[in-house]
Structure 1
Amino acid sequence: MTDGTKAALTGAGIQVDEALERLMGSEALLERLLGKFLEDRNLAELTVALAEDRREDAFRAAHTLKGVCGNLSMTRLEALVSQMVELLRGEGELAAAQALLPEVTEACREVREAISGALS
């Protein structure tokens, strides 16, 4: 992985060195997992569940997305999704979680763009 690639990913909130440490230094595995993230449907499921006021489904999708972000050291996106998970936990604050969705969506778009550029 080039320094430019690392810089682009880091700029989007992905802590590349931390992710590599978690993956025993395997750049190939990190690149494969980042590619899989581009196919991840949890944000889409979260968006639909929030639009349809399905708090439990939204919680599940957000919790799964949070785990993926954590494993890939996507710190900015993980922090935003973590806020959403806490808002949806238990009986949850659905309206507050819905209000946070645009910020989560934008952070996810930035991460996806950086990954697409890095893997092309």
Structure 2
Amino acid sequence: MTLQELYTEIGGDYNEVRGRLPSDKFIQKFVLKFLDDKSYDLLISSLEQGNSEEAFRAAHTIKGMCQNLGFNTLLASSAELTEALRSGLTPEAGPLCERVKEDYGRTVTAIRSFQEGMST
């Protein structure tokens, strides 16, 4: 899988990111670093604990990373969740979190597939 194919698979905007970042190697470096970020785990645990402030912060961080990396599908769902959490835990947070989980899972799976293809 190429970097461009990865972006297509996750609903990202490769061309926009390529226009902002200097090279595919640079983009690849930060795409792979996305796997190491703990914001998603913090989001889930914070929601389970009812900690809306931490959940908001984690969702906001995910949104920012997705904006920088051009992960548009996950960006859209995390942005909606961020706004829902801005005023605390709201009834909308549950369904929005489910959408983030789906989008995050799809994104991580695709990145791991891309990563495995690099080593072959």
- TM-score for both structures, normalised by structure 2: 0.88
Percent identity of equivalent pairs: 32
Q: Is the 8 A contact 2:3 2:28 kept in 1?
A: no
Tell me which residue corresponds to 1:100: 96
Q: Matched residue pairs, number?
A: 116
Superposition deviation, residue 74 in structure 1: 0.4
SS in structure 2 of the partner of residue 95 of structure 1: coil
What residue identity is the alignment partner of 1:99? Answer: P
Q: What does residue 109 of structure 1 align with? A: 105
- For the aligned residue pairs, the C-alpha RMSD in angstroms reads 1.5
Give the Cα separation in 2 of the matches to 1:113 and 1:67.
20
> In the alignment, does 2:69 pair up with 1:72?
yes
Pick one of 18, 24, 33 that aligns with 1:36. Answer: 33
After superposing on structure 2, the runs of 4+ consecutive aligned residues of structure 1 that deviate more than 6 Å are none
Amino acid aligned to 1:72: L
TM-score, normalised by the number of residues in structure 1: 0.88
Question: Using the alignment, how far apart are the partners of 2:10 and 2:53 within structure 1?
Answer: 29
- Are the aligned partners of 2:50 and 2:89 in contact in 1 as well (CA < 8 Å)? no
Q: What runs of 5+ residues in structure 1 fail to find an aligned partner?
A: none
How does 1:1-120 map onto structure 2 within 5 Å?
A: 4-24=2-22, 26-89=23-86, 91-120=87-116
Residues 5 and 30 (structure 1), Cα distance of their counterparts in 2 relative to 1, 3 Å cut: closer
| Contact 2:3/2:24 (8 A) holds in 1 | no
Q: Identify if the C-alpha distance between structure 1 residues 94 and 53 changes in structure 2 by more than 3 Å, giving closer, same or farther.
A: farther
